[in-house]
Amino acid sequence: MSFIEEMSKKTVFELKSYAKQNNINLDGVNKKAEILEVIASFNPEKKVEIEEEKAQGKVALYSEKNLTWNGVGALKRGYNIVTKEASERWLQHKAVREASPKEVATYFGEV
């Protein structure tokens, strides 16, 4: 069970207590959804989960030059994130290759 699923089962009082224990400021926030949103923004696990959810069905490609393909889309020189379906078409082009997640992370300074 993810952190957000766990937290959404708690009452507003429990959420406020959690926020207080973890020094999360809830000034002006009273609704459960708003409290969850604030708490989630302070939880590093949540960020990873969202990125993983967004990444599902996506593929990182590296293009050696700017490309446009009618019906498929466009790639800029460098790293591009595209749908799995589009990647199957783009990988037929000699100037495009698949990029590993580690390679992309290294490029953007995450590793």
pTM for this entry: 0.51
Task: Retrieve residue 8's tokens.
Answer: 């959404």
Give the whole-number percent of the chain exceeding pLDDT 70.
Answer: 86
Task: Retrieve residue 5's tokens.
Answer: 């699923």
Mean pLDDT, range 17-32, rounded to an integer: 84
Confidence of residue 46 (pLDDT cuts 50, 70, 90): very low
Q: How much is the pLDDT for 38?
A: 84
The domain limits of the chain are: 3-54, 57-107
Instruction: Tokens 């050696």: give the residue.
Output: 64
